[in-house]
Structure formats: structure tokens, C-alpha cells
Amino acid sequence: MNCLIVAAGQGTRLREKGESKPLIKIKGIPLIERVMTVARRAGVDAFFVVSGYRGDGLRAALDALAARDGLSITHIVNNDWDRANGMSVYKAREVLKDPFLLTMCDHLVDPEIIRDLLREAPEPDTVTLCVDFDIDNPLNDPVDVTRVKCRAGLIEHIGKVIKDYNAIDTGIFLCTPVMFEALEASFEAGDESISGAMNVLARRGKAKAFDIQGRLWVDVDDPTAFAQTERLIEQGRL
């Protein structure tokens, strides 16, 4: 299985920890390396990494990692890194023609979530998002999370500010190439986010929700989340 990792943004809220967010070390290991380790444990065998801000340094570090551990890492450059995250995904449209896992460079999860997600082949022309129905989980930042309204295994609506929701977006997706067509439709409507594409698919009944069933995940997006993640690693939970 191929895995697309979005690692193009500035990561301004973690700037005190380092200039390049994917390369910030948590307990001695760069964040993006931890993301890759989880994905490999879940069955991923090739990575496609979208870089942008301070991309030269990230690409050099990933080349060294690939040589050290024998990894397959393909670079995708997003010179429009200051735009919304959907643009980073869209840059991969020419190289990913089959189903692929999509994740962010700052989301760490229980590998069992990904294993279960990949256990069955995705339905044609669908995208499946792993969602957390524990919306009161103290590990989640209620101000920053992306909210999701689900019903009967399908996503009805997704967004940062929607009021009617029953789940949280974990940032882990199983995509078919329809994701790129949905991004184009969302771009035309003025929304360049991944959530915009998911709303396009939701209106077609093609955005699926995968319940992570209370398993652990964390978005390492600010100093508070960074400290929480360090504690989880010390406890052996990540």
C-alpha cells in the first residue's frame, strides 16, 4: 500500500520546537519518522511525501532516512505550500493512480487503526475517513479539531466550525483516485481544503466514516499536544 504524507506547511504553532515541523524530534525521533514507523507497522510499503516550506532540508533528511532504513520515499514538491492542505494532496494526482493511505506529518495513531482500515479493499470512487466518536476526549483540542457529522457509516458534513457533529476527523484517510476529482470540484467552488473535497463526496454519498473505536490518536500541532505526546510515548502508549 502506498502512503501519501502531507508535510508542506509552516507549522507555526510548534515553531519554538524547531523550524521544520516534520523534523522536530519527539523523544529523539523526528515527527515524520514516527508517522512512517506507524504506517510501516500497519502494512504500508512505499511513501510519497509532499514538501513545501523549508522543503530542501526535509527532502535531504528523508533521503538519508530512506538510505538508512531501505525505505521507498518519493518526493512531491508543493510550491503553493501557503495555500490550503488540499493543494498538497492534489500535487500527487499524477503519481498515485491506485488506492492510497493519506495522512498528515503530525498525526500519530495506534497502528491497529490503519491495519483495520486497510483490511478491506475500498469501494470504487469513495474516500474513507477515520473518525473518533469520543468528541469529549481530553487529548483533542476542541477549538482546533475538524468536526464531522456521520450517519450510518457515511459522512454527511465536515468542517472546522459546523455546529451539528458527532465525531472528530483524525486525519487518516483511505483514498481512491476520486479524491483528486473531488478536490478539483472543491477548488472550483472556492475551497482548497481536504475537507472541501470530502464535502463534495459526502453530497454524492461517497464519503465513508471508519470508527476508530476509541483507539489512541493525537494531532501534534502545538506545545500542549507535544507535551501530551511525550507523556504517551513515555507510557508506551505510542
The model's pLDDT over 177-197, given as tens digits with 9 standing for 90+, comes to: 999 999 999 999 999 999 999
pLDDT of residue 141: 83
Is pLDDT at 164 greater than 90 in this prediction? Answer: yes
Find the helix or strand (DSSP H, E) in which 46 lies.
strand 46-51
Per 3-state DSSP, what percentage of the chain is helix, strand, and coil (rounded to 5)? 35, 25, 40
pLDDT of residue 208: 98
N-terminal to C-terminal alpha carbon distance within the chain: 22
Whether the full predicted model's pTM is greater than 0.75, yes or no, is yes
Burial class (CB in 10 A: 0-12, 13-18, 19+), 94: exposed
Backbone phi, then psi, for 58, in 5-degree steps? -65, -45
pLDDT band for position 11 (50/70/90)? confident
Nearest to 98 by CA among 187, 3, 5: 3
128-144: pLDDT as tens digits: 999 999 999 988 888 88
Provide the 8-state DSSP code for 14.
G
Mean per-residue pLDDT over the chain, rounded: 96
Find the helix or strand (DSSP H, E) in which 209 lies.
strand 207-211
- Average pLDDT value for residue range 39-50: 97
Three cell numbers written together for 101? 493511505
Q: Which structural domains are found in the chain, ordered by start? A: 2-234 (3.90.550.10)
Residue pair 5/88 in contact (Cβ under 8 Å)? The answer is no
pLDDT of residue 13: 86
pLDDT of residue 51: 98
